[in-house]
Amino acid sequence: MKRAVPILLLTIAGLVPLWRFEAEPETVVAAPEAPAAAAPDTAAPDVSGTSQAPAASGAQTVTGSLISTKYGDVQVRLTYAGDQITAVTMVKQPNSGPTKMAVPVLVRETLDAQSADVDTVSGATTTSGAYVQSLQAAIDAKGD
Amino acid sequence: MTTLQLSAPVERRPSARPGVVARTGLFAVLAANVLLVTVLFFQAGLSVNALILIGRLAGLYGALLMAFQLLLVARLPWLDRRLGMDRLTSWHRWIGFSLLWTLLTHAVFITLGYAQVTSLPPVDELVTMATTIDGILRAIVALVLIIVVGAVSARFARRRMAYETWHFVHLYTYVAVVLAFSHQVAVGPTFTASAFATAYWWGVWGFALGAVFVGRLGLPLWRNLRHRLRVAAVVPESGNVVSIHITGRHLDKLPARAGQFFLWRFLTKDRWWQANPFSLSAAPDGRSLRLTAKALGPGSAALRSVKVGTRVFAEGPYGAFTTLHQTRPNTLLVAGGVGITPVRALLEELRGHVVVIYRVTRPEDAVLLHEMRGLAHARGAVLHVVTGPSDRAPLGPDAIGRAVPDVRDRDVFVCGPPGMTNAVLQTMRDLGVPKHQVHAERFSLAG
């Protein structure tokens, strides 16, 4: 019984920081691929998407809005050939297992649907939600 | 006494056996929840990785088993009267180890699954998850606590440990439960998939923790505030056996029955934190309670020095060793040593013809014998006292078959040390006494 008191105090001393511990989400930032097109993106993230003027080839990239989640930031960039989405690049994504599991699925679904009508990936609900938001913003920006 | 017994109304027995009803109910509830959790799991959508999928399902079943574990040890009167604390505790023990393996499966498969997705070594993946995803570190600590609790509950460790030490360590499961639940809220996809799933899981945990809170804290506190128990007399029965008489207020409102026990705490400065299980050694008469204890551990030994007037905190009544489970009009009671205490109380309450076999090593060990003789005489019961060294023969099929030829048509209540209890249970199987007519109480606390 005498030992119980210090052990209880130690337990509380251990549990308080454990309970207050907040995981630090890590965001992976993709290296800019096309320097000419990506340059204006480095400005502060915009809530609405930004559209790049079509290059000579007709390929156009559109960047979606930056969505912050508790797991990290999500931002997508779409590459269009005309009205066709030909590629989805993650400008920013949380550096977590669930996200890495979800992104290939989300990208494939986007290319199939050619719209933001994408199903949530189970186990990555938050990332999926943020992805769809950023994607929708990009599609809207392209429409302008 | 005798006139009161004659005029007492005959209790109507329910058509379904109470133990069967409670067991079926309990496991039907568990099965229904397993089914529901499985449906919710599939509704949340399937993950792309099979390892993660298995890990997630194991986590959900683990959460459910954890809640069920709480229900088993909540000491809810309805379950306890029907199943007995000994049986509930042995289920709790068995499910506890299954739970440990289920949660380990959860952690290992989730880690391996995400390690596969991120192409990181599993240990690095675990560290990354713990530092970047909220709730994972808490889950890891919860799992470590549960592993420690499981380790001290393993038989070889448990035997080397005082009950109080083991119990103290075991209380850390509550910390683990809270950490695990907060982890489930933070990251569980099945938890957040739909409003119904969220409400369901809050309901499961709320019910389980609520049951523990009511059964283990609320009800005992309320009862003790109401009855205000005190030691009224301390009576030595033999060299190492002592009876303690206890009085209190409104004891006629305390739903205790003959054959049940309480966890007694005598509120003195040095032993208030020790709770010992002792049976009532007399049927509760509405004015006082009596317990009779043999010095087994240091806790029981100090009982002799308890002073009259000492405040008592009693948790209970507990136990299914009562006439609630009687299925036949006539009864055989078998007591070994200090196991006589609940048997002595039962003898007061039983109707019909009763045979008592009282097994002791030496004649002077037969405590309460004088009372037993008096009661048996008043009730028209037959009392056999069997003395001699431990040996199965006096309680074997031949001896009992001769002493009680109609034993197959009686309920048999057995209370004594584990070896004797097992010998009697074996005898009853040999004699073909139907299993549901045999009632045994294993007289020890959890572990």
Distance from CA of B191 to the nearest CA of A (A): 10
Do B52 and A18 lie within an 8 Å CB cutoff?
no
Q: Please name the member of A4, A94, A97 whose beta carbon is closest to the beta carbon of B168.
A: A4
Structure tokens at B390: 């431990």
Do B56 and A26 lie within an 8 Å CB cutoff?
no
Distance from CA of A94 to the nearest CA of B (A): 9
Distance from CA of A104 to the nearest CA of B (A): 10
**Residues of chain A found within 8 Å of residue B49, distances taken between Cβ atoms:** 101
A141 contacts chain B (CB < 8 A): no
Distance from CA of A55 to the nearest CA of B (A): 35
Counting residues of chain B whose pLDDT is more than 90, the rounded percentage is: 70
**Residues of chain B found within 8 Å of residue A70, distances taken between Cβ atoms:** 134
pLDDT grade, residue B172 (50/70/90)?
Answer: very high
DSSP lists the bridge partners of residue B262 as B278
**Residues of chain B found within 8 Å of residue A71, distances taken between Cβ atoms:** 132-133
Closest residue on chain B to A120 (Cα): B45
Q: Please name the member of B48, B56, B132 whose beta carbon is closest to the beta carbon of A23.
A: B132
Spatial separation of the C-alpha atoms in residues B43 and B253, rounded to whole Å: 49
Spatial separation of the C-alpha atoms in residues A91 and B290, rounded to whole Å: 76
This prediction's pTM:
0.84
Q: Please name the member of A4, A72, A122 whose beta carbon is closest to the beta carbon of B47.
A: A122
Sign of CA dihedral B429, B432, B435, B437: negative
Residue B218 has pLDDT above 80, yes or no: yes
Average pLDDT, chain A: 81
Closest residue on chain A to B134 (Cα): A23
Indicate which of A7, A96, A100, A103 best probes the interface with B, i.e. most B CBs within 10 Å of its own CB.
A96
Average pLDDT, chain B: 89
Do A101 and B114 lie within an 8 Å CB cutoff?
yes
**Residues of chain B found within 8 Å of residue A124, distances taken between Cβ atoms:** 189
**Residues of chain A found within 8 Å of residue B114, distances taken between Cβ atoms:** 97-98, 100-101
A22 contacts chain B (CB < 8 A): yes
Q: Please name the member of B118, B134, B141 whose beta carbon is closest to the beta carbon of A18.
A: B141
Residue B67 has pLDDT above 50, yes or no: yes
Fold of A25-32+42-142: Sufe protein. Chain: A (3.90.1010)
Enter the ipTM: 0.71
Distance from CA of B380 to the nearest CA of A (A): 49
What was the pLDDT predicted at A54? 52
Do A121 and B45 lie within an 8 Å CB cutoff?
yes
Do A122 and B164 lie within an 8 Å CB cutoff?
no
Instruction: For residue range B236-290, list pLDDT tens digits in order.
Output: 888 788 999 999 999 999 999 999 999 999 998 877 888 888 999 999 999 999 9
What was the pLDDT predicted at B6? 42
Q: How many CB pairs under 8 A join A and B?
A: 80
Residue A32 has pLDDT above 90, yes or no: no
A93 contacts chain B (CB < 8 A): no
Spatial separation of the C-alpha atoms in residues B45 and B197, rounded to whole Å: 13
For residues B341 and B291, is the Cβ–Cβ distance under 8 A? Answer: yes
SS (H, E, C) chain B: CHHHHHHCCCCCCCCCCHHHHHHHHHHHHHHHHHHHHHHHHHHCCCCCCHHHHHHHHHHHHHHHHHHHHHHHCCCCHHHHHHHCHHHHHHHHHHHHHHHHHHHHHHHHHHHHHHHHHHCCCHHHHHHHHHHHCCCHHHHHHHHHHHHHHHHHHCHHHHHCCCHHHHHHHHCHHHHHHHHHHHHHHHHCHHHHCCHHHHHHHHHHHHHHHHHHHHHHHHHHHHHHHHHCEEEEEEEEEECCEEEEEEECCCHHHCCCCCCCEEEEEECCCCCCCCCEEEEECCCCCCCEEEEEEECCCHHHHHHHHCCCCCEEEEEEEECCCCHHHCCCCEEEEEEEHHHHHHHHHHHHHCCCCEEEEEEECCHHHCCCHHHHHHHHHHHCCEEEEEECCCCCHHHCHHHHHHHCCCHHHEEEEEEECHHHHHHHHHHHHHHCCCHHHEEEEECCCCC
Spatial separation of the C-alpha atoms in residues A56 and A78, rounded to whole Å: 17
A98 contacts chain B (CB < 8 A): yes
Q: What is the mean pLDDT of residues A3-16?
A: 89
What was the pLDDT predicted at A125? 83
Residues, chain A, total?
A: 144
Instruction: For residue range B119-150, list pLDDT tens digits in order.
Output: 889 999 999 889 888 889 999 999 999 999 99
What was the pLDDT predicted at B239? 78
Structure tokens at B38: 């499985």
**Residues of chain A found within 8 Å of residue B124, distances taken between Cβ atoms:** none
Do B133 and A71 lie within an 8 Å CB cutoff?
yes
Distance from CA of A122 to the nearest CA of B (A): 5
A128 contacts chain B (CB < 8 A): no
**Residues of chain A found within 8 Å of residue B125, distances taken between Cβ atoms:** 97
Q: Please name the member of A7, A104, A122 whose beta carbon is closest to the beta carbon of B189.
A: A122
Distance from CA of A43 to the nearest CA of B (A): 26
Closest residue on chain A to B44 (Cα): A122
Instruction: For residue range B352-373, list pLDDT tens digits in order.
Output: 999 999 999 988 889 999 999 9
Residue B3 has pLDDT above 50, yes or no: no
Distance from CA of B120 to the nearest CA of A (A): 10
**Residues of chain A found within 8 Å of residue B175, distances taken between Cβ atoms:** 11, 15
- Which phi and psi (to 5°) does residue A96 adopt? -140, 155
For residues B249 and B109, is the Cβ–Cβ distance under 8 A? Answer: no
Do B47 and A101 lie within an 8 Å CB cutoff?
yes
What was the pLDDT predicted at A40? 42
Q: What is the mean pLDDT of residues B171-176?
A: 94
A129 contacts chain B (CB < 8 A): no
Q: Please name the member of A98, A105, A125 whose beta carbon is closest to the beta carbon of B192.
A: A125
pLDDT grade, residue B101 (50/70/90)?
Answer: very high
Q: Please name the member of B49, B130, B175 whose beta carbon is closest to the beta carbon of A101.
A: B49
Do B131 and A23 lie within an 8 Å CB cutoff?
yes
What was the pLDDT predicted at B441? 83
Lowest mean pLDDT among A4-13, B99-108, B254-263: A4-13
Domain ranges of chain A: 25-32+42-142
